[in-house]
Structure 1
Amino acid sequence: MIDTLASGAARDPALELPAMLEQELRAQPRAAGLRLLEAAHDNGLRMTARLRDFEVKDLLSLTQFFGFHTETFSLAVNFLDRFLSKMKVQPKHLGCVGLSCFYLAVKASEEERNVPLATDLIRISQYRFTVSDMMRMEKIILEKLCWKVKAVTTFQFLQLYHSFIHENLSCERRKYLNFERLETQLKACHCRIMFSKAKVNILKIQRKLNS
């Protein structure tokens, strides 16, 4: 059974933060695996950080095309990085891996009525693999993720800390804490593998909010 994201509960930072920090440790990419990607030479035969970043940018474009939530994009990146940090993926298979991670994130976090057909997703992405190829890849990814697609993402920390800080600011200062701007900056960070090596912790989010 797939362990999916919980939703709909009221957010209390004092209660939610400890659980998020604990879950964070279970859903981090392997730093050693990501370093191998950064060290790999771009010869067309091995996965590299540059190829990973290009794939994430494609996933961001799909997120924007379908109007999906930033949480969906953040979760898809988490799946992709966790998988790439464990498995040796050939560049020719990266598109299938990336789209499969994206589809898993969509099904885990978006409303069911908004989930597109796999055929439409492949067509819009202009890939040549089949739905069967993608379903097989989904199963492989789920096995490597131990069938757990519940992951604490950077976006969730951003939401939590923005809410907490916003409530404790004066009305005058609140107007300078623009969540949409922070959300845009977070998406840009996801497109760089260097940020995936860092833990999704509160200090980084606090620095972002205070910048």
Structure 2
Amino acid sequence: MPVATVDISSQQSQESQQPFAMVHNDRRARRKRSKKSAAQGAAANSWAAKSSKEARRGDEACVSGAAGRDFRASGGDEIENNNNVEENDKGNNNNSSNSSSNGGRSNSCSSDGESEVCSEKDQPLQHDEGLAEPMSLTDESIARLIELLAREPDYHPKTDFLFRINSASEDKVDARLRDEAIYNLRFLHKFYNLSPECFAHAVNIADRFVVKVKVKPKYMACLATAAYLIAAKMIEDQSDWPVPEKLVCMARCGGSANDLERMEVIIRNKLRDQRCLEEAATPLHFLLELQSLFPSVQAFQRAVGELETSLCSVAVYEHRPCVLALAIARKHLLAAAGPANRNAVDEVLSQLCDLFQLSPDSLSEVDAAISGIVSRLQTRTPAPRLLVWAVSRRTLVSLMRPSAQASLLDPIRED
């Protein structure tokens, strides 16, 4: 800030015309004012110098802080401040002694003061790969498995005789026709998107009816569709029940909705009461009790999908439901388990084999049969079908009658 100046020449011309006392007092007052203004200017200059000095000091502090951060990030050995150099040297010595005592464990903090600020994410992560996740079944699941084992012989159909039937000469459903009907029923099940229990019960009901009653080949598609309708009424809500008229059109099983409902009544009468239908022990019931062993929901859903595909073959479904469920669970559990959990999976599987009274050889045999059927059916596409128009008799007669306008048309000349 500039110092105030005074015009001396003009003041002296005025002083010559005034008395001495007044001039002396005016000089002294002007002198005081000039000193005061000079003091104010000096104070302003010192304040500006002090501000610039503090600004330079702040910039130096920022630079030194950035250098310190760069040093900690890159592990360098130099910074500008001598005190920080001594402290860092001391911290490095302490860290080297700690690393040697801890078996060479590295530490990212370089000084004692900075070690208090270090967070957990700066420390190296520790992985315990030797620890395996605990795998076990609850007491309730084991009790339900024992109950299912008790009901298994009463509700599992013995369909091995279907391989010995000649459908052409005996006019009865054989293994090939049964597999074809259940395979088409699976596509119908995917269309309605009902629960997997619905499809498992439908297959069980259809096979048990085939075992009890002589079914002609032309009725097998209607039988499978009616079994699916019964299973849907047992398990699903009433709002999700398939409509018989639409179900007949989608399944293309032949006949009408009344024929489908009559087949439903026949199945219920042959299999006696409703309790006999609902208490069936299917392979899916065993697999549901093993759901807690699967590492994820996606792995369990893949196992359920493979089980649905396996039910389309009599060669696979002739095995016991517990064996079929355990073979599929074993395949997916071993595929999803890591090296650390493999021993735990083997231990649980051995306990289940003892509970089901199975041998590892029987599981390997069923696994091979499942793999062959699944690989064959997954690559297969449903047979193409012609589009059938459902028209009334009057419309059909009018379509077949020759048009009266055809004779009124002139013949087309080729020349």
Shift of 1:177: 8.0
For the pair 1:40 / 2:165, whether they are aligned, the reply is: yes
Larger radius of gyration: 2
Q: TM-score, normalised by structure 1?
A: 0.82
Residue from 318, 341, 347 that aligns with 1:197? 318
Question: C-alpha offsets along residues 68-116 of structure 1, whole Å, 9 cap, x if unaligned?
Answer: 1111001000001101111111001112111111100111111211112
Distance in 1 between residues matched to 2:277 and 2:182, nearest whole Å: 18
Distance in 1 between residues matched to 2:163 and 2:224, nearest whole Å: 18
What is the aligned residue count?
A: 189
Shift of 1:132: 2.1
**SS at 1:149's partner residue?**
helix
User: 186-195 vs 36-45, which deviates more?
Assistant: 36-45
Corresponding position of 1:170? none
Question: C-alpha offsets along residues 51-79 of structure 1, whole Å, 9 cap, x if unaligned?
Answer: 10010011111110011111100100000
Distance in 2 between residues matched to 1:116 and 1:206, nearest whole Å: 32
Contact between 2:181 and 2:224, CA under 8 Å: does it hold in 1? yes
Distance in 1 between residues matched to 2:252 and 2:327, nearest whole Å: 39
Contact between 2:165 and 2:172, CA under 8 Å: does it hold in 1? yes
User: 35-44 vs 178-187, which deviates more?
Assistant: 35-44
Question: C-alpha offsets along residues 11-39 of structure 1, whole Å, 9 cap, x if unaligned?
Answer: 9303322222222222111x2xx222111
Distance in 1 between residues matched to 2:297 and 2:252, nearest whole Å: 40
Contact between 1:81 and 1:196, CA under 8 Å: does it hold in 2? no
Distance in 2 between residues matched to 1:95 and 1:175, nearest whole Å: 36
Matched ranges for 1:1-211 at <5 A:
12-29=140-157, 31=158, 34-43=159-168, 45-147=171-273, 148-150=276-278, 151-163=280-292, 165-166=293-294, 174=295, 178-201=299-322, 203-211=323-331
The ranges of structure 1 where at least 4 consecutive aligned residues each deviate by more than 3 angstroms after the TM superposition are: none
Letter in 2 for 1:129: G
Superposition RMSD in Å: 2.0
Q: TM-score, normalised by structure 2?
A: 0.43
Question: C-alpha offsets along residues 139-166 of structure 1, whole Å, 9 cap, x if unaligned?
Answer: 2111221222111211111111122x24
* Structure 2 unaligned blocks of 5 or more: 1-138, 332-415
Letter in 1 for 2:196: T
* Structure 1 unaligned blocks of 5 or more: 1-10, 167-173
Counting aligned pairs with the same residue, the percent is 26
Distance in 1 between residues matched to 2:268 and 2:201, nearest whole Å: 14
Structure possessing the higher relative contact order (Cα contacts under 8 Å, 6 or more residues apart): 1
Distance in 1 between residues matched to 2:253 and 2:312, nearest whole Å: 21
Distance in 1 between residues matched to 2:241 and 2:212, nearest whole Å: 28
